[in-house]
Structure 1
């Protein structure tokens, strides 16, 4: 069985599966990759001596972990939120969420900055993009890294910097400033190109449930999102907000979409098939920057993080598990929650008072950036901070209120965590 390991000849590791192993989330197998093709549609620029060339074998030496805490360039969960990856200024690291532990690290001896690390569930294949002041790879390239072989087995090159990457077992999605490319994972063949409005954050979401790919990205207008249903070959445009879209998330099956705008006060949930608005929830009254949105696995809950330093959990009053989504509750018909006791007089007071508020909250340091996901244990939330903080919290689905902190670690300082 393949493993993610820092050694050239890794030993079997039960924490990771080979790319051809099946998972409960997606039984499709990942084809083996050998070639190093680049995009013919968007060829690479000339070589830049400031960047390190891709090596067919691992770097000559692997630097020991730096004594000082590394600079964090990127954090992201894997597809089932059981692991997360951290790109740092001299390599990358992979962690398990529950129980929390560092699974492995790879430190590069020269350059080494990794600005994007995208996992593929728990297998040994990752997508890497260089980043930081001294990138390990050019920021305009996506490197497909096989840690079983300790080398890059494929690459995709572009004319401009890569903003983000999304992986499925059958697809690689690369997001540039104003364009998105969809590739077949087996042979890196380009399947689709999408034009978007300026997208510096690399916003893009893909479904991970068994079945057809659903892809969501910004449209060509401010406040618009584009939904691609590849099975039915249908494209749906949704005018989600009046202002610029800054964050969105898909449910695992791709049926539900949560969106937030630059105002950061409201989050809207849409049916991706027909574009209908199913529910609207309020994060707060003041402007805020929404950093992260996440559905629970059963689409019963939605978590939201922002620069206000509070993670909110909202109850979703919709059935996202069946094709016929229940639209009995919508933004125009708010559901009373513990924080919206004035909703019965919504016709008299401003909309603010009739808004649907969060069921549970967790307070963090204001101004810092956090990403959220739901844990594998019931009613738990995992929070990752750009400062290296890891929180696991539990919320009361009945009484709501402040969440209970179950665990805290600083994953940039392993000596403090173990």
Structure 2
């Protein structure tokens, strides 16, 4: 089973609440639902209208199940996560309550009331991680839910994390640090690697399918760093990828299932795809924990970058001055790698919503066998025909809209849009306020 992670940017939206409760009360509306797409990216979980829903992704988003909040007294569901390959859904209700719902039994099988706010949840094989503002509590599920260990984190109000079946990656306890815990399986002792990844606080994380690669971005948002985490060895910086020159908020990072590419989505509404296949030109010069700051005054203009959209033999673009690097002490800007392929996410929000804020989105590589298993009428005609091996589908989930793009893994350049769906949510559950 494919289990390459995703780091979900669950987004809390504050509205004037109808409940008239304390300062933390929230009401969720259809357009501001929290939603996440789960490894192996076959399902989407959302919380909206005082209920939670699970949708299957292909051939088009289809409602599989919808339920009211399992805990009416704790408050409405604020996020939901599917326990992969099972009929169990982890639902966060209100601020501090986490419930495991068994869809087969149609009942809540376990509920925990936390002392601290719950910022996020992650479902692993046999474990559930509950993320608080400065820590993550890992619970084993069998034979009964038991606190297994607590991992300290830097202030993490968004609940940033990424995971595979047996690993979880979190912000470390210090600013700019990443904490990567592997071998989370019953009966083994987990191992945690700490990475001095950035100087600014972490804003996005991704873990590869094998949990041997970690990608990180900081609040500066200009660079994405890819780290090799081999067991028993210190982490090494494998790649430094340049998303752009201007500061931006990186919303999501994801690896493809073959661990040969990374996609980066940010609030510029652009998704960049980087290939990891070729050796880094200047890896020797990169030191761990290097500064993310680029003095924008001295940053050269984008024109200094090779402008050909198609880079030869599937390589990322680098600066056209980069071959001179051995001879001239060029600023570090020139030796980092630019994206191989990219696309813009259409802004599909209503004019009213555009004033509120830009809804974060998650971009993931759809599993090749998932995308290829489609029939021609599924809206993916381009994928099924011809040499599908060098086409790759990327799914972008934003609130309740799903965009599908595909790009040529050999030529790169601009990705093309293949489908767009607006997920229709059921109306509010009867009997709920």
For 2:60 and 2:283, how far apart are their aligned partners in 1?
A: 38
* Corresponding residue for residue 32 of structure 1: none
| 2:141 is the alignment partner of 1:185 | yes
Contact 2:261 2:274 in 1 (8 A): yes
Contact 1:72 1:87 in 2 (8 A): no
For 1:331 and 1:73, how far apart are their aligned partners in 2?
A: 44
Match of 2:404 among 358, 367, 392: 392
349-358 or 403-412: bigger deviation: 349-358
Q: Which has the higher contact order (CA 8 A, sep 6+)?
A: 2
For 2:339 and 2:30, how far apart are their aligned partners in 1?
A: 35
For 1:331 and 1:287, how far apart are their aligned partners in 2?
A: 26
- For residues 329-408 of structure 1, the aligned pairs below 5 Å read 330=283, 332=285, 337-338=316-317, 340-346=319-325, 348=328, 349-365=330-346, 367-376=358-367, 377=371, 378-386=391-399, 388-408=400-420
- For residues 6-405 of structure 1, the aligned pairs below 5 Å read 24-25=1-2, 70-108=30-68, 113-130=76-93, 138-186=94-142, 187-208=144-165, 213-230=166-183, 231=188, 233-273=190-230, 274-317=234-277, 330=283, 332=285, 337-338=316-317, 340-346=319-325, 348=328, 349-365=330-346, 367-376=358-367, 377=371, 378-386=391-399, 388-405=400-417
For 2:145 and 2:425, how far apart are their aligned partners in 1?
A: 37
What TM-score do you get using the length of structure 1 for normalisation?
Answer: 0.73
Report the aligned-residue RMSD: 2.9
Cα 1:199/1:357, change in 2 over 3 Å: same
Cα 1:222/1:202, change in 2 over 3 Å: same
Looking at secondary structure, tell me which structure has more helix per residue. 2
- Size of the aligned set, in residue pairs, is 334
* Corresponding residue for residue 64 of structure 1: none
Cα 1:69/1:222, change in 2 over 3 Å: closer
Contact 1:277 1:331 in 2 (8 A): no
1:180-201 deviation line (CA, Å, top 9, x unaligned): 1111111101111122221111
Q: CA deviation at 1:92?
A: 1.7
Cα 1:341/1:395, change in 2 over 3 Å: farther
Q: CA deviation at 1:328?
A: 8.7
Contact 2:204 2:216 in 1 (8 A): yes
Q: CA deviation at 1:331?
A: 7.2
Q: CA deviation at 1:206?
A: 2.5
SS in 1 for 2:395: strand
Which runs of 5 or more structure 2 residues have no equivalent in the other structure? 4-19, 23-27, 287-313, 348-357, 372-390, 428-433
Cα 1:316/1:331, change in 2 over 3 Å: farther
265-274 or 94-103: bigger deviation: 94-103
Q: CA deviation at 1:410?
A: 0.8
